[in-house]
């Protein structure tokens, strides 16, 4: 982690692997458009974990792209029209797919290359100050990296809630297993492309 000139901890981790990730995402044709299979996976992930919001998220050097997205019908993220997920998700087609890299917790998962479980984000000073807390009201997060067969963390799958969630070990095992399942699907698809 680094500090800004005023001495505050910067919330978004430095991502030295971003150029390799971008190259790999391009090779796989991922991260530029939504796909019904990823939306279906996000819907199933939300159902399995019992959350209102879930994503299949690919991350480049500047932004996050929700290739798969589940939100409750008729619900828009956040109440602020000026930024955050409210602005990112509200789009011309009703649901946008992009979010700044400094919003949310998935960039941490990608850099750490392991799952992150935050039952109450406010319990962690490093994560409580993230823009998604104040702008959107996110209180709980659970995500796992999508580790490609070449060793590149392509992105994440994640679930979030506006309420505190006791994820526990069962939640951690579920998110990790579902990330592995999605990577198997991506690997099979790549095998068909070769």
Residue 153, φ and ψ in degrees, nearest 5: -85, 105
Q: What is the mean pLDDT of residues 33-41?
A: 94
Region of poorest pLDDT, from 29-38, 79-88, 90-99, 101-110: 79-88
Angle, helices 36-49 vs 168-193, to 10°: value is 160
CATH number at residue 105: 3.30.450.40
45, 178 Cβ separation under 8 angstroms:
yes
Query: Quick check: is 3 in a domain?
Result: no
Query: Quick check: is 164 in a domain?
Result: yes
Q: Can you name the residues that pair with 82 across neighbouring β-strands?
A: none
Would you state the structure tokens that stand for residue 146, as one six-digit string? 């999508």
Q: What is the mean pLDDT of residues 55-62?
A: 94
Query: Quick check: is 5 in a domain?
Result: no
Task: Tell me the pLDDT of the chain averaged across its residues.
Answer: 83
DSSP-derived pairing of the beta strands 53-59 and 116-118: unpaired
How far, in Å, CA of 30 to CA of 21, rounded? 11
Q: What is the pLDDT of residue 11?
A: 61
pLDDT exceeds cutoff 60 at 74:
no
Can you give the C-alpha Rg of the chain in angstroms?
Answer: 16
Query: Quick check: is 30 in a domain?
Result: no
Res. 171 pLDDT band, cuts 50 70 90: very high
Percentage of the chain lying above the pLDDT 70 cut? 81
Q: What is the DSSP string of 22-64?
A: HHHHHHHT-SSS--HHHHHHHHHHHHHHT-SEEEEEEE-SSEE
Query: Quick check: is 57 in a domain?
Result: yes
Q: What is the mean pLDDT of residues 108-137?
A: 88
Instruction: Please give the tally of structural domains in the chain.
Output: 1
Query: Quick check: is 136 in a domain?
Result: yes
Q: What is the mean pLDDT of residues 23-52?
A: 95
Query: Quick check: is 26 in a domain?
Result: no
Query: Quick check: is 63 in a domain?
Result: yes
Q: What is the mean pLDDT of residues 90-114?
A: 76
Choice between 91 and 150, residue whose per-residue pLDDT is larger: 150
Q: Which domain holds residue 117?
A: 37-189
């Amino acid at each position: 982690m680094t500090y800004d000139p005023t001495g505050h901890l910067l919330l978004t981790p430095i991502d030295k692997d971003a150029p390799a990730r971008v190259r790999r995402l391009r090779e796989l044709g991922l991260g530029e458009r939504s796909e019904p299979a990823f939306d279906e996976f996000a819907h199933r992930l939300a159902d399995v974990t019992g959350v209102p919001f879930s994503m299949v998220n690919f991350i480049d050097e500047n932004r996050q792209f929700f290739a798969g997205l589940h939100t409750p019908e008729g619900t828009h993220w956040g109440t602020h029209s000026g930024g955050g997920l409210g602005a990112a998700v509200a789009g011309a087609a009703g649901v946008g797919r992009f979010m700044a890299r400094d919003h949310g917790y998935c960039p941490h998962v990608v850099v750490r290359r392991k799952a992150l479980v935050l039952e109450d984000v406010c319990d962690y000073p490093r994560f409580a100050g993230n823009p998604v807390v104040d702008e959107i009201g996110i209180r709980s997060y659970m995500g796992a990296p999508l580790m490609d067969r070449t060793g590149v963390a392509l992105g994440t799958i994640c679930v979030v809630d506006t309420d505190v969630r006791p994820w526990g070990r069962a939640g951690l095992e579920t998110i990790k297993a579902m990330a592995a399942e999605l990577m198997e699907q991506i690997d099979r698809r790549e095998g068909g492309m070769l």
